[in-house]
Amino acid sequence: MGKGPAIAGASRRPKSRVRYYAAIAAATVAGAGLAVGATVTSASAAPATASSVTAPVSSASSWITSGTATPIKHLVVIFQENVSFDHYFGTYPFAANTDGTTFQAKKGTKPVNGLYTKITKNGPTGPLLTNNPNIDNGVQYNPTRLTHSQALTCDQDHGYTPEQEAVNGGLMNKFIQFTNVPTCTGTPTTPHGAPGLVMDYFDGNTVTGLWNYAQNFAMSDNNWDTVFGPSTPGALNLISGQTGGSYAVDPNNNDAKITTPIAGTVSALNSAGLGTIYGDLDPAYDDCSDNSHTPSSPTAKLNPLGVSTGKNVGDLLNARGITWGWFEGGFTPTGTNAAGFAVCGSTSKNIGGNTVTDYSPHHEPFQYYKSTANPKHLPPSSEAMIGHTDQANHQYDISNFYATLPAGNMPAVSFLKAPAAQDGHAGYSSPLDEQTFLVNTINKIEQSKFWPSTAIVITYDDSDGWYDHQPPVIVNGSNTAADTAICSSAPMRLDSFPNRCGYSQRLPLIVISPYTRSNFVSNRLTNTVSVTRFIEDNWLGGQRIAGSFDAISGSLSGPRGVLNFNKKPHFGLVILDPTTGAVVSS
């Protein structure tokens, strides 16, 4: 619809019409010892050898249930994979209803900044759908609706530079040339491919569950990937807002620090020996990285591994004694190889029957930090210790979340990562696989005792390069050989680390909580690091991480935000069918 994103922080908070929570402000952690806006300084670089990590041990009784700045006592972040906003919500709230699960929008549903200028009785209309500027060799590529049977598609190119090239200085007209991948392979099912596939989108007949959550809770059409590029930078930004302060090590050479840049991994190192992770290299503090440190052939070499230094939000939560955890599918090892490394070999099948390894190391951001890693993938010492510091060091299998939820020990902050076949990543997952994971998980949380004080955030690590029509506003620039003019012409606002250019493309953001407006579309400017900022503001008294995007990220609450604490909460459950995404009860 062409409206541009507003810059966060430009408006003042309005006076509350109704004050249901007079004591909210006073509920912030007492005696925390850090003023709002306090900054955590970066730690010195980690040793070049990515050796095993010895985690501090504490008893469950030594951890406190901290006061919070809002009624939210439990945050669950479901971090999915590789979807642009237009790819899932480009025609929201109109669904064609020619296949898949029937979807009818509620009366009064507002339009979004999508692919249309108007929705008629025959469907969405507008020049982006019929006269799109993406043209290659004289052929115009308009966005095409993907059917329910085409849910499993080819993965698109989503590298740091190709995404910038596709944006083409904000003209949004080079996706065919730089991120389009029209064909691919798969066994036994070949994912759907087509010329101009990168332009195409799903509607509520396939992403039915997400559309129904948006109907009953809140979503954003102005939420952005923090930087250009693939999954690893997106995951690191989720937990720290900082992809700088990093380096790569060479497992072929006793984990020696790599000082000569390797394209697509880490930027050139500064005088302190630190650069920026801007590609998808596996974490150094993870036995399962790079196929459990096993070369792909007898003559092949192992791939570089990534190390991040400084602080992440887990470090900050630990310092305050606040329970938290990262829960990922396939994290539990299936064995140990001859070299003594844990093997993460569990698999699942997607809707096409293709076998997919559950665990993806470069999707697990805490494994890049020595302070929060669990290299051997050790289990928690007991169910009661989930969320507390023990041998698992807050890194768990997704099954541990499902065990602790009914036991009444869900951590204050939980990050959930689906098994790969259900994480929504094109090429090996699909919206239908993803829906199964999302609905089953969210139903369980809603039906738990934690629901009245919980916010569930669904968002994504990157766009996968899928087309999104909205030109980005660059809030932090970068000027390297990997950057195009849209980034090199913008100032670096945060620190001196390059290859942190963004915002890049819009990503879906849905918040499910009693503390949302129902059927609400937020246009407040947010990005992936807004999740980090909410944790910092809610539990940590506004503490910030050095050089992080957290300082300039918009809040999830506030005027026009996805969370609203000035209205009476709605505690009713919205239960969906995991297969169809339809509402079962509400």
Confidence of residue 66 (pLDDT cuts 50, 70, 90): low
CB of 463 within 8 A of CB of 507?
Answer: yes
pLDDT at residue number 558: 83
What average pLDDT score do residues 318-327 get?
A: 97
Q: In this structure, what are the phi and psi dihedrals at residue 429, rounded to the nearest 5 degrees?
A: -140, 180
What average pLDDT score do residues 375-404 get?
A: 98
For residue 4, is pLDDT > 90?
Answer: no
Retrieve residue 513's tokens: 């909580």
CB of 352 within 8 A of CB of 188?
Answer: yes
Closest CA to 174 of 132, 146, 231: 132
For the CA atoms of 54, 58, 63, 69, what is the dihedral angle to 10 degrees? -10
Task: Count CB atoms within 10 A of the CB of residue 250.
Answer: 18
CB of 506 within 8 A of CB of 467?
Answer: no
Q: Spell out the residues 6+ positions from residue 319 whose beta carbon is closer than 8 angstroms to its own.
A: none
Q: What is the DSSP letter of 381?
A: S
Find the range with the poorest average confidence among 13-17, 93-97, 350-354. Answer: 13-17
Q: Measured between alpha carbons, how far is 183 from 35 in angstroms, rounded to an integer? A: 53
CB of 141 within 8 A of CB of 195?
Answer: yes
What average pLDDT score do residues 73-99 get?
A: 98
User: pLDDT tens across 265-289, in order?
Assistant: 999 999 999 999 999 999 999 999 9
Closest CA to 422 of 409, 412, 433, 431: 433
For residue 379, is pLDDT > 90?
Answer: yes
Name the residue type at position 323. Answer: T
pLDDT greater at residue 3 or residue 192:
192
Q: What is the mean pLDDT of the chain?
A: 90
Q: In this structure, what are the phi and psi dihedrals at residue 269, rounded to the nearest 5 degrees?
A: -80, 145
User: pLDDT tens across 459-503, in order?
Assistant: 999 999 999 999 999 999 999 999 999 999 999 999 999 999 999
User: pLDDT tens across 117-150, in order?
Assistant: 999 989 999 999 999 999 999 999 999 999 999 9
* Cα Rg of the chain, angstroms: 22
What average pLDDT score do residues 426-432 get?
A: 98
pLDDT at residue number 278: 98
Q: Measured between alpha carbons, how far is 432 from 420 in angstroms, rounded to an integer? A: 13
For residue 23, is pLDDT > 80?
Answer: no
pLDDT greater at residue 297 or residue 246:
246
CB of 151 within 8 A of CB of 110?
Answer: no
> Residue holding tokens 């900050």?
316
- In sequence order, the β-bridge partners of residue 99 are none
CA distances from 419 to 14, 93, 368 (A): 42, 29, 19
pLDDT at residue number 50: 43
What average pLDDT score do residues 197-211 get?
A: 98
Confidence of residue 175 (pLDDT cuts 50, 70, 90): very high
Q: Measured between alpha carbons, how far is 211 from 105 in angstroms, rounded to an integer? A: 9
Closest CA to 192 of 458, 432, 462: 432
Domain 74-253+263-293+300-585 class in CATH: alpha beta
What average pLDDT score do residues 67-83 get?
A: 97
Q: What is the DSSP string of 389-453?
A: -STTTTEEEHHHHHHHHHHT---SEEEEE--GGGS--TTT--HHHHHHHHHHHHHHHHTSTTGGG
What is the pTM assigned to this prediction?
A: 0.90
- Helix ranges (H only) for 61-124 are 85-89
For residue 90, is pLDDT > 80?
Answer: yes
| DSSP H or E run through 119 | strand 118-120
For residue 32, is pLDDT > 70?
Answer: no
For residue 540, is pLDDT > 90?
Answer: yes
Task: Identify the burial level of 479 via C-beta atoms within 10 angstroms of its C-beta, where 0-12 means exposed, 13-18 middle and 19 or more buried.
Answer: middle
Q: Can you give the residue ranges of every domain in the chain?
A: 74-253+263-293+300-585
What average pLDDT score do residues 564-582 get?
A: 96
Q: What is the DSSP letter of 506?
A: B
pLDDT greater at residue 315 or residue 54:
315
